[in-house]
Amino acid sequence: MGRVEVARRSPGDGEELFRLYSEVFGTDLTDASRRRWRWQYLENPNTGPDGPEIWVAREDERVLGQYASMPVRLWWGEREVRSSWGMDVFLRPEARGRGVGARLFTAWSDHVEVALGLGLTPSSYGLFRKLGYRDVGPVPFFRKVLDPRAVATRRLGKALGALLAPVVGAAVATLQRERWRPEGSADVQVQRIHGFDAEYDRLWERARASYAMCVRRDAAYLQWKYVACPHRGYALREARRKGELLGFAVSRVEDYRGLRLGWLVDVFAATDDRGARDALIADVLASFREKGVARAQAFSLGADLAADLRRHGFLAGPSPMQFCVRSRDDSDHVIEDRGRWHVVFGDSDMDR
């Protein structure tokens, strides 16, 4: 057994890492990973001059595995800090159980002020907890049935679903009773957009202080995350009041296992601007209905957005999105203020 070393990925590691990725995950996932690699790691506006923040474990020059991360600027308490989302950890089978994964995790988290692990597998979640990360999840999951007949048919079969659709529809109408009022956002105008400009930098500067934790959502980040993304197509909306930019929403529609789903990927405004969020959510839901969406879905750790979703008829369901955090300083006051954290499906690489 040789000496194991952990260091930043070098340009010459690429092909060997992709071969290892193929051994662990198969050819199809490897091909998809290659297609999005440049966007995900090189084009990220927070990637520094040293290149992607990827750590590689080697034994006698042989690659054992890697831990890749997505660097971001993070509003944390009352300041912006250097942070990153942990992603894409994989090891050779013979490297497992030797502490290699723990060393990769530590090399990553020691490199930033706040390390963020979202959407963790059971094994990764256990390792995060063992290494002293704070468990702040799971991120709450919300869903709203828009087409009871389609949902009933998908779950019960075509004949029985059609028969019980009226019963399901009545139950849905009762459970998903909407409690928001359009007049509360009557002064807000929502329109479709195709990109993000410098005005979104100013929106971020105004809105960030209302959060205890939120990835910096400036124009460069939003343009990269939601416009330049090569493997997803998003619908973008902005909200204005008397011409002033208030916030934005990001959504998409997909067909999944015979059901048309609508994802509210991101909804952002200052936490006290309920009218802007109401107008954005209502406009997205109207577009979902026009597109024949059977069920709308969203994640939100923030208390204000979660409350808005409930008022629009969303119901909470079991969430698979485990979330762990490690900070290098005393951050108990931030950890305890999770109701003012903005974490949604668009964060990290959850929607890939």
CATH value at residue 100 = 3.40.630.30
Mean local confidence (pLDDT), 238-244: 97
Domain boundary among 90, 105, 135: 135
Highest mean pLDDT among 154-163, 167-176, 223-232: 223-232
Q: What per-residue confidence (pLDDT) applies to 217?
A: 98
Say if 244 falls within a structural domain.
Answer: yes
With CA atoms as reference, report the closest residue to 117 among 301, 347, 333.
347
Domain shared by 230 and 275, yes or no: yes
Domain shared by 71 and 145, yes or no: no
Say if 61 falls within a structural domain.
Answer: yes
Backbone angles phi, psi at 53, to 5 degrees: -90, 80
Range of the domain at 13: 4-135
d(CA 72, CA 118): 14
Domain count of the chain? 2
Contact (Cβ atoms closer than 8 angstroms) between residue 345 and residue 351? yes
pLDDT category, 98, cuts 50, 70, 90? confident
Domain shared by 235 and 263, yes or no: yes
Q: What per-residue confidence (pLDDT) applies to 345?
A: 97
Kindly report which listed range (64-68, 159-163, 215-219, 317-321) carries the lowest average pLDDT score.
159-163
**pTM for the predicted model, two decimal places:** 0.92
pLDDT category, 203, cuts 50, 70, 90? very high
Say if 336 falls within a structural domain.
Answer: no
SS (H, E, C) 28-42: HHHHHHHHHHHHHHH
Kindly report which listed range (9-13, 103-107, 282-286) carries the lowest average pLDDT score.
9-13
Kindly report which listed range (32-41, 72-81, 121-130, 241-250) carries the lowest average pLDDT score.
32-41
Contact partners, residue 190, CB within 8 Å, separation at least 6: 237, 238, 239, 279, 280, 283
Mean local confidence (pLDDT), 17-45: 77
Res 118 pLDDT > 90: yes
Q: What per-residue confidence (pLDDT) applies to 25?
A: 66
Domain boundary among 101, 135, 169: 135
What does the mean pLDDT of the chain come to? 90
Contact (Cβ atoms closer than 8 angstroms) between residue 324 and residue 134? yes
Q: What per-residue confidence (pLDDT) applies to 153?
A: 84
Domain shared by 100 and 229, yes or no: no
Side chain identity at 156, as an amino acid letter? L
Tokens at residue 225, please? Answer: 């995350």
Domain shared by 312 and 275, yes or no: yes
Domain shared by 93 and 46, yes or no: yes
Kindly report which listed range (73-77, 87-91, 99-103) carries the lowest average pLDDT score.
87-91
Domain shared by 168 and 61, yes or no: no
Task: Please write the tens of the pLDDT for every residue from 47-71.
Answer: 999 889 999 888 887 888 888 899 9
CA distances from 216 to 48, 170, 204, 347 (A): 16, 42, 7, 11
**Taking the alpha carbons of 287, 288, 289, 292 in that order, is the dihedral positive or negative?**
positive
Domain boundary among 102, 135, 168: 135
Question: Taking the CA of residue 136 as centre, how many other CA atoms within 13 Å lie in the half-sphere pointing to its CB?
Answer: 27
Say if 26 falls within a structural domain.
Answer: yes
Say if 334 falls within a structural domain.
Answer: no
Question: 192: which strand partners?
Answer: 237
d(CA 177, CA 38): 44
Say if 163 falls within a structural domain.
Answer: yes
Q: What per-residue confidence (pLDDT) applies to 314?
A: 97
d(CA 126, CA 234): 33
With CA atoms as reference, report the closest residue to 24 among 103, 88, 97.
88
Domain shared by 121 and 210, yes or no: no
* Of 200 and 17, the one with more pLDDT: 200
